[in-house]
Amino acid sequence: MRSSNLHCVHRDSEHGVLRPGTNGLPLRCGQSEAEYYVAKALAAGMTPDAVFETITRDFDRQSIFRKEQSTVAAAALYHLTSDDAVMTRLRGLFDKIRDYPCRR
């Protein structure tokens, strides 16, 4: 483990194990590519609705790894927008994928 990532690992006091991230999620510390894309797209003048469309238009056909990045991007967009219509669409996406089936 690189020392620069040590601030992102927390000890689970109940189990005595190290877990990544501030809430145990398997995402790496710092800004992900998905978060970077959303922030950059919004800063470049792309509307929140257009960003939503680009990250979700083929969601059902995306690989599991891309779905993970799209979900992270959707969460980032949710926190960066104040557009109620987009936030409603994002909540719909979150409801849809809450129990999303895994293909094996």
Do 53 and 96 lie in one domain? The reply is: yes
Do 65 and 94 lie in one domain? The reply is: yes
This prediction has a pTM of 0.68
For helices 64-80 and 33-43, angle between their N-to-C axes, nearest 10 degrees: 40
Q: Domain count of the chain?
A: 2
Do 37 and 88 lie in one domain? The reply is: yes
Do 64 and 22 lie in one domain? The reply is: no
- Residue type (1 letter), 30: G
Q: Is the pLDDT of residue 45 over 90?
A: yes
Do 59 and 13 lie in one domain? The reply is: no
Do 47 and 62 lie in one domain? The reply is: yes
Tell me, what's the pLDDT at 19? 40
Do 43 and 56 lie in one domain? The reply is: yes
Segments forming the whole domain that contains residue 88: 31-104
Tell me, what's the pLDDT at 99? 75
